[in-house]
Amino acid sequence: MLEYVSIPDAVGLPGLRVVLSPGFPGPWSVAAKMILDLKGIRYTPVAQSIACEDKVLREWTGQESAPVAVLDSERSRSRWDEILLLAERLQPQPSLIPEDERLRWEMFGLSSAICGEDGLGWNFRLYKMAAWEDALAGKSPEPVFLSREQVDVMQFRYGDPSRSAAGAKSRMIAILELLAEQLHENRRKGSPYLIGDRLTAADIYWTSFSNLVAPMRHEHCPMPDAYRAMGEAMGADLGDTIDRILIEHRDAVLDRHLALPLRF
């Protein structure tokens, strides 16, 4: 595990502090960490408690999720795109945002389909929250590793009463198909990456979020059994909609670009 400082201790520290979810590979947190590490940006890791109310974190950053990055006395940055732009500013090389305006637009669009509200990660969570509700009501054997109170916190933060579990699952399938199509198309053009001919943040986001539907090998990413089981169950529910090319690409990004095993 990384060496974390507590939220109250982090508030008064100088430099870049990044609040992460310790001990499990929360996809937004892992992606932020991959981006900072790839660029060699130093920061103080700060520990968040998942799905808990935290007055100090709210007062400090205006929200309670992880990841959130705070540089000196600047405003906090909690969205995936804000954190990416901050990292690019602090260390422009290697750049993870294409220079070409059209590719840049494609990169942010595709990344939003992975990490943005109503994207892959968001719909995974909606799908799981529906299963947890059923399990807590005694209607399903789905394992729930959050308490009733924590599930309520998650519903308040991320819930969408208009989206059924089936709707969340079809959105995930549509996004996975889009990612696979994009990889096939770029491969035909001679590039192994999602956008253009080099690594961009979109590849990083897919790599990190892939754990939700196809957990990484243990030697790449040791994680709690319950978390691995959750991703495996999601993969089984999605069946053969996960094109092999997505997993090959994820493994290639891990091998070529990231320090393994991942630590969090």
Ligand X SMILES: N[C@@H](CCC(=O)N[C@@H](CS)C(=O)NCC(=O)O)C(=O)O
What number of residues does the chain have?
Answer: 264
* DSSP secondary structure of 185-254: HHHHTT-SSSSTTS--HHHHHHHHHGGGTSPPPTTT----HHHHHHHHHHHHHHGGGS-HHHHHHHHHHH
Nearest CB to ligand X, comparing residues 66 and 70 = 66
Q: How far is the CB of 207 from ligand X (least distance, A)?
A: 16
CA dihedral 4, 158, 151, 60 (to 10 degrees): 40
Using CB atoms within 10 Å of the CB of residue 23, give its burial: 0 to 12 exposed, 13 to 18 middle, 19+ buried.
Answer: middle
Cα-Cα end-to-end distance for the chain: 5
Residue with smallest beta-carbon separation from ligand X = 65
Nearest CB to ligand X, comparing residues 89 and 188 = 89
Q: How far is the CB of 74 from ligand X (least distance, A)?
A: 17
Tell me which DSSP letter residue 17 carries: E
Q: Which positions touch ligand X (CB under 6 A)?
A: 26, 28, 50-51, 64-66, 78-80, 115, 157
Nearest CB to ligand X, comparing residues 196 and 200 = 200
Q: How far is the CB of 236 from ligand X (least distance, A)?
A: 21
Nearest CB to ligand X, comparing residues 107 and 183 = 107
Q: How far is the CB of 108 from ligand X (least distance, A)?
A: 13
Nearest CB to ligand X, comparing residues 113 and 183 = 113
Q: How far is the CB of 121 from ligand X (least distance, A)?
A: 7
